[in-house]
Structure 1
Amino acid sequence: MTTTHGISVDVRTPDGVADAYLTHPDDGATHPGVLVMQDGFGLRPSLHALADRIAANGYTVLVPNAYYRHGRAPVLDLPDFIDPARRPEIFEQVFPLIRGLTPELLRSDVGAYLTWLATSPQVTAGKVGITGYCMGARLAVLAAAMFPDRVAAVAGFHGGPLVTDTADSPHLAVADITAELYFAHAGEDHHMTPEHIAGFDKALEAAGVRHRTEVYEGAEHGYTQADTSAYDVDADERHYRELLALFDRNLRT
């Protein structure tokens, strides 16, 4: 893997300025663009490291602070090691921020992120890839449906909720997706039960969306997040292999 260069950048949106982390190979060349949709805990050093690893494989990666309307990252007061079982009050901070990310705000924000990538001198012209974690997987599906002409590949890891009884459920939007999808659910995850997974797959199949779904047995919700108690090194390595294979197939021409 190559050396990467990471910096903080500001992305102007219709509602203000989103702070973000940008990382790319330190080789002076352009590379396909990737948008990382954060988990519920927000933009922090562990997500920088995740983005750096993707970038080291030949991508220019943007990780926006999805909560920028509430301030620059870190928006949440988090410990260095996140164990929700010992710190349940963390979710009292997280849930209102998640609920505030409506589809209307998401469309506005993602449009700005994609435009920023398209005009970046570090990004190769063409469609981008999106990868999302926890709530970010849900946002990634909706983003791919909102911008089918700009997104070529989408991955979601320990994502949820992807099937709900609300009008903005991601499984109801998949008919507009043209990207290839890869989803890796956690085997131990009440956010995505076997029934939810089957319902999401059924919607993708009915829409004719190219996709592959796997369940990482034994892994917990959050298995890719190295600063949490759910982290699983084997599942995380598997995540990188599948994610990079997906991006290599769809973003390199």
Structure 2
Amino acid sequence: MSRIWLPIQSTNSKKKIRRPDYSSTNQGLTYINPYFAFATNINLNPSVTSEIAANLQYRDKSVKLSYYENSNVINYGFLYNEPQNLLIYRPQNFERETGYNLEFMLPFSSNFWSSTNIVSFILNKIEDSSAVIGDTKPYVYYYSNHVFKLKNELQFSLTGWGLTSRNEGVFQRNSYFQLDFAASKTFFKNLSCTLNYNNVFRNRTFTENFEVSNVRSNAIFFVDNCEFSIAIRYTLGKIKDSIYKEKEVNENSGRIK
């Protein structure tokens, strides 16, 4: 008897409100030098996102198409205080963001090798009356995780992800790629050792170009998040599955940063 696999289709729409976190809305000003400062913004408003999406799934493969509109989207911009000759970098609300997203999820598995692959084609545009609107072009987000389970309880993992260059109306941003590595080994059934090394190539450099409130910015951000860690775990006896299920009772807990 042969099995017939039918694709699963679904459509949904949702609307959500994203409140600014507390660290962005307190009243603070940090001087980097006499002419440049970093500030928070007590006047930030919540962002409201409306989204409609359609999903098609066949076995473990899926494709998703979505469209969203976001009002009062929060990004960082500049404000020039002319009397003080001070340039202030702070979070602010941009009027509107719209975007399309076509996402493919393609898992794969064999005897010793399993892989999860995600590719998203994105076109989004950020607009604001105080900004100069540049080109809008599609870009690609990609994620690929590979796990190799070898003999003697030895396991390797490689994860690569990144973005191509992005032209999003107000903002023009560069492409980047990151590779993470992990290896684990189990000894005597109860003792396991895991080695993690993220951002192997140490290449997290971001560029961001925009013009807001008559201030033109060409910025470069250097992110040093390369980390090497070793974890050792020993299990005492058999661990039963927990029946505890966390329930969120405070919707504002995620705003505290």
TM-score interval, smaller chain = under 0.3
Per residue, is there more helix in 1 or in 2? 1
Between structure 1 and structure 2, the one with the greater Rg is 2
* TM-score, normalised by the number of residues in structure 2: 0.24
The structure that is strand-richer by fraction is: 2
Higher relative contact order (CA 8 A, sep 6+): 1
